[in-house]
Copies of this chain bind each other. A is one copy, B any other.
């Protein structure tokens, strides 16, 4: 799946079949025709009142996310295939954050008549691409009409041995706080897309999006950190707590601290930021650290490990120790480059903006 290098139509196929022509059952048949179940735990996929899963002796984890057009995505610059891919990924990321392996997803779609069958097929293509890559089965869902726009609701189900499931609440005082990958990129990608959308609106001229590949990919085609979950298993490190970074590092660190009844200290200078994220933030007159702390959608994993496991993760390029857990009384603090303490605040994405 290529990154879009300019603003184009939100879907590629130029023919147009109305949803009302083929109806709900016709649409479901077309969408499910290409599904092939790949997990032996998926006993029965789409086509009955419910899907059937064989847990195979494992515990199950369940997570769900809703994406609303005009709130979570803008089809002016998000191709439908990418949207479908991302809708799956954000849910898989939550499953990995439990240290579990995703195995099934269900997808519900509400669509206005603006979308022809071909558009829905491209959305689905992106979903099935993510499913295929992460070895997950799309086992069911629901499709219906909406009065305006598109709403996507995905539920992901994963599995893990009971003793391997990692909660937000398990961190202990003095545990190290570790983050995978780098932060702020998805947010800066969004800023580029929003800026180019404005330019396009005002001048009609197509800005070339090239040269911002990394941060655009972070926004438009994020990946879930299966590799990190597998790496930790290989290193024989069981995190004491873990969370997926969807609302920004600050917000998620506060969740870990609160759930574990602790405080947390994050060192500003340790926060991993990619050079292209850094430079773009500077171009926008934004503080790169603030973007990393409060920009959402990075879908990296934030977790705590016992100090005794430090040697196992040390020097791993995909993992950065950015702080540690403290007692609750010490509060949640950001330590600046001069050693000054600043209360950590969640200024992440607000699901209910005023006047929305």
| Contact surface of A with B, Cβ cutoff 8 Å | 18-20, 23-24, 27, 43-44, 47-55, 58-66, 68-72, 94-95, 97-98, 100, 104, 106, 108-113, 139-149, 151, 153, 155-158, 162, 165, 167-169, 242-244, 259, 350-356
User: Residue A64 contacts which of B24, B27, B108 (CB distance < 8 angstroms)?
Assistant: B108
Tell me the smallest distance from the CB of A168 to a CB of chain B, in Å: 5
Closest 3 CB pairs of A and B: A24-B351, A153-B153, A50-B63
A-B contact pairs, 27 of them (CB 8 A): A20-B356, A43-B59, A47-B259, A49-B94, A49-B98, A49-B242, A49-B244, A50-B63, A50-B156, A52-B61, A52-B165, A55-B58, A55-B59, A60-B157, A62-B104, A62-B155, A63-B106, A65-B108, A68-B151, A71-B146, A71-B147, A113-B356, A143-B351, A145-B353, A147-B148, A151-B151, A153-B153
B residues within 8 A CB of A100?
50
Nearest chain B CB to A158 CB, angstrom units: 7
Q: Chain B nearest CB: distance from A58 CB in Å?
A: 8
Tell me, in angstroms, the Cα distance from A156 to B100 when the chains sit together.
Answer: 20
- Given the complex, which residues of B lie within 8 Å of A60, measured CB to CB? 52-55, 60, 157
Contacts of A59 in B (CB 8 A): 43, 52-55
Whether A139 contacts B62 in the complex (CB less than 8 A), given A94-B50, A146-B151, A350-B23, comes out as: yes
Q: Which residues of B contact A112 (CB under 8 A)?
A: 356
Q: Of the candidates B54, B58, B94, which one forms a contact with A162 in the assembled complex, judged by CB atoms under 8 Å apart?
A: B54
Cβ-defined contact, B61 with A168, below 8 A? no
Asked whether B140 lies within 8 Å of A20 as measured between CB atoms, the reply is no
Copy total for this chain: 2
A64 adjacent to B167 (CB under 8 Å): no
Closest-by-CB residue of B relative to A106 is: B64
A155 near B64: Cβ-Cβ < 8 Å: yes
Q: What residues of chain B lie closer than 8 Å to A141, measured between beta carbons? A: 64
Q: Residue on B with the closest CB to A246?
A: B49
Q: Is the CB of B354 within 8 A of A20?
A: yes
Contact A145 B108 (CB under 8 A): no
Given that A24-B350, A55-B59 are contacting pairs, would A106 and B144 also be in contact in the complex, using a CB cutoff of 8 Å?
no
Is A68 touching B351 in the complex (CB atoms < 8 A)?
no
> Are A168 and B49 closer than 8 Å at their CB atoms?
yes
